[in-house]
Amino acid sequence: MNIKIVCVGKLKEKYLKAGIAEYAKRLQKFGKFEVIEVPDEKAPEQLSQAQMDQVMEKEGERILSKIKDREYVYALAILGKERSSEELAAEIDQLALHGKSDITFIIGGSLGLDPAVLKRANAEISFGRFTLPHQLMRLVLTEQIYRAFMINEGSPYHK
């Protein structure tokens, strides 16, 4: 199984890096796990809709350049489908059973994801209607991916 997170921007906070590194280390026993950061597009605070669209398009192109055709893609989106940890685990298990062993999760930039990225995604996933910093979302997502593998393994970690 190859799991990848493609995200916009650099992670600066040491405590988040440490948490992600811990789960990444734990995930190694299940296959390859990697986080790929693409640069965020520099933009002024106040943007017109056209400027926002342009920023999202440029970030979207960078994201899409990191995705191969064979990958099953989950885009994180507030309006995506909410899943329980058990439901995500079952989906990952089913994907593996159907020969889809390359799974990619996408976390967009502060403005969200370009429509082209959402179109490429096989599924949209939501972690609820909370607004979370994108950097924190990386840690939450990494933990949930680990939790999914532990559920599928029948481990007591999940309880």
Q: Which residues are annotated as a binding site for S-adenosyl-L-methionine?
A: 76, 108
Q: How far apart are CA 36 and CA 105, in angstroms?
A: 10
131 SS3 class: coil
Residue 74, strand partner residues: 105, 123
Q: Residue 29 has which token pair?
A: 């026993």
Contact 147, 158 (CB under 8 A): yes
**With 0-12 CB in 10 A as exposed, 13-18 as middle and 19+ as buried, what is 125?**
buried
Give the residue numbers of the binding site.
76, 108
Rounded distance between C-alpha atoms, residue 70 and residue 30, angstroms: 19
Residue length of the chain: 159
